[in-house]
Chains A and B, each alone.
Chain A
Amino acid sequence: MKSLDQTLALAWRSLVQVRRNPWELGDYSIQPILFLVLFLYVFGGAVAGSTEAYLPFVLPGVIAMNMLFVTVYVGHGLNTDLTRGVFDRFRALPIPRWAPLAGRILADLLKQALCIALLLIVGVLLGFRIETSVWEVLAMVALVLIFASAASWIMVLVGVLSRDPEHVQLFGFTALFPVTFVSTAFVPLETMPAVLQPFVQANPVSLLADASRALLSGGDALEPALWTLVWAAAIAVLFAPLSVWALNRRLARG
């Protein structure tokens, strides 16, 4: 009970921080909207024939992309705490060792949920129509959040290994751009060169985007959703212990 309160206090702190981090705040609000509107009106005609036809395709893609970009702040925030000594302050307090990380990931999930809601609302304002039941929409949100919590472990590792917060951002975004764009997040598989297609099909961003599309607009969601979960489990199983190990190593050094 006490450690839950402590985790909540740390999550609260991560959320309050956002107010004074204009870049981060922008990445949760203006940036996803901007991407959605730009993709929709610039590529809509070319990719799907019209913006109306492209909207149901691109909206889940932008949700998936934004989810990945938001995870970078898990690493960014952790690294800031490590380099500025805030993490040491926490470690000298009588709180569980995992609480600072847990607080951060919990806060991340809340931010993620708000971003998804924001994008769905903007999508609806732009003319998007949800064709499925509330349960399927909730399943879509849950799927994105599950994948986000797995992916944030990668960013924990980046946060631990980076020299400073700027490098976290540099490395995080540089790695995420190709992963996001070599996927079916924004364009259909058939339009891409044959050599790329196997990568695109296996890319968890594709699977997540496909599953989200089906869960919002109908179609076969089960298969891509299951594969997304497999990916999430694999990432978590690999990166959670690796990140904790790297973190402990960094802390033990000095």
Chain B
Amino acid sequence: MGSAIRLQGLVRSYNGTRAVDGVDLEVLSGSILGLLGPNGAGKTTIVRVLSTLITPDAGTAEVGGFDVVRDAARVREIIGLTGQYASVDEKLTGRENLLLIARLLGLGRGGARRRADELLGQFHLLDAANRPVQTYSGGMRRRLDLAASLVGNPAILFLDEPTTGLDPRARRDLWSLVGELREQGTTVLLTTQYLDEADALADRIVVLDRGRIIAEGTSAELKERVGGRSLFVVVADTARLDDAAGAIAPIVGEHPQARDNTLSVAVTSSAVVPTVLRALDQAGIEVVELGLRTASLDDVFLALTGHAAEVTSETAEEGA
């Protein structure tokens, strides 16, 4: 299998500030790459370079073997793009939006109609097909947007935060769709702020922070890097959280992270569990739940960057 996407030393600045600061990246044909990073990490900038919307300041980017600057026209023939914000025409109906794209891609009248109906069905939009998009909900818009990027059956698909702003059900629908695309052999580069999303969908994950890659590998490999497991403790009284952390730290050799009433910390061996339990008991801290779990990507991010991944609740409509 060849590589479908290749970035070498990519740099892109906005007004002198580097949004992407020397990124090397390779995505194998037919695989799914998850580009994971908090807001402002440079994910959208990378997607916009790859989809020929902006040019790199330095470095090279190839999509399907074509250079995004020199062979931009060839690149456009093989890609599909779903941007971070839905980019469908508000004044047209869902069907008209898809018809327009189909006609622009050179499908005839009948072919365009068939393709539009096929996608409307696939994305559960048939009932709303003849309504203007301005009456659509955020989730419906996102689905239409995605459908629009699939009209030409692209070999390589870019999905920029496809589930941001979606409700859990719509999110799961999208996940299963990405699964279907995988089966068809489509190469997908997907960006996300959701750690579980990269975990669930991507064959390989690249973690991006402030324009640089700080880690990459399979989700299992990344988890391995932080010891593979993490100990979590749920305390009954939030006020005692600090005390609990103080009791645990000397045993595991690291200060646990606190979130709500839960502490978590990477551990290398399960042998610490009884010791921790005893220490908490001695300190008189009531424990609701205590156990080991495979480290989440949240833990990975924390371990790699020293700061938590700030998952903001931006909605898909905000770009409108």
Contact = CB atoms under 8 A, between A and B. Distances in A.
B103 A85 contact: no
Interface in B245-291: none
Contacts of B81: 88-89, 92
A89 B148 contact: yes
B207 to A, nearest CB: 23
B54 A10 contact: no
Contacts of B90: 84
B83 A13 contact: no
A16 B96 contact: yes
Contact of A92 (B14, B52, B86, B89): B52
B91 to A, nearest CB: 4
Interface residues of B, number: 33
Contact of A86 (B14, B79, B87, B96): B87
A20 B104 contact: no
Interface string B59-94: 000000000000001001101010101111111100
Judged by DSSP, the binding face of A is: helix
B91 A85 contact: no
B177 interface: no
A86 B88 contact: yes
Interface in B264-320: 319-320
A115 B83 CA distance: 37
Contact of B106 (A5, A13, A19, A20): A5
Contacts of B100: 9-10, 12-13
A13 B76 contact: no
A88 B55 CA distance: 14
Contacts of A251: 53-54
Interface in A1-41: 2, 5-6, 9-10, 12-13, 16-17, 19-21
Contact of A93 (B88, B101, B134): B101
A92 B51 contact: yes
Nearest to B108: A5
B132 interface: yes
B105 interface: yes
Given A9-B104, A13-B96, A20 B88 contact: no
B89 A86 contact: yes
B105 A93 contact: yes
Contacts of A12: 100, 103
A216 B134 CA distance: 43
A84 B91 CA distance: 12
Given A16-B92, A20-B132, A88 B77 contact: no
Contacts of B101: 89, 93
Contacts of B91: 16-17, 19-21
B51 A85 contact: no
Contacts of A5: 103, 106
Interface string A111-153: 0000000000000000000000000000000000000000000
B87 A88 contact: yes
Interface in B152-202: none
A6 B100 CA distance: 9
A178 interface: no
Contacts of B53: 88, 91-92, 251
A175 interface: no
Contacts of B87: 84-86, 88-89
A12 B91 CA distance: 13
A92 B134 contact: no
A6 B88 CA distance: 17
A198 interface: no
Given A2-B106, A10-B104, A94-B73, A252 B54 contact: yes
Contacts of B83: 85, 88-89
A118 B86 CA distance: 37
Contacts of A110: none
20 contacts: A2-B106, A5-B103, A6-B103, A9-B104, A13-B89, A13-B96, A16-B92, A17-B91, A84-B90, A84-B320, A85-B83, A85-B319, A86-B87, A86-B89, A88-B53, A90-B104, A91-B53, A93-B76, A93-B104, A252-B54
Interface of A: 2, 5-6, 9-10, 12-13, 16-17, 19-21, 84-86, 88-95, 251-254
A-B residue pairs, 6 tightest by C-beta: A85-B87, A9-B103, A17-B91, A94-B76, A94-B77, A20-B91
Given A5-B103, A9-B103, A16-B91, 9 more contacts: A13-B100, A16-B92, A86-B89, A88-B53, A88-B83, A92-B79, A93-B76, A94-B73, A254-B54
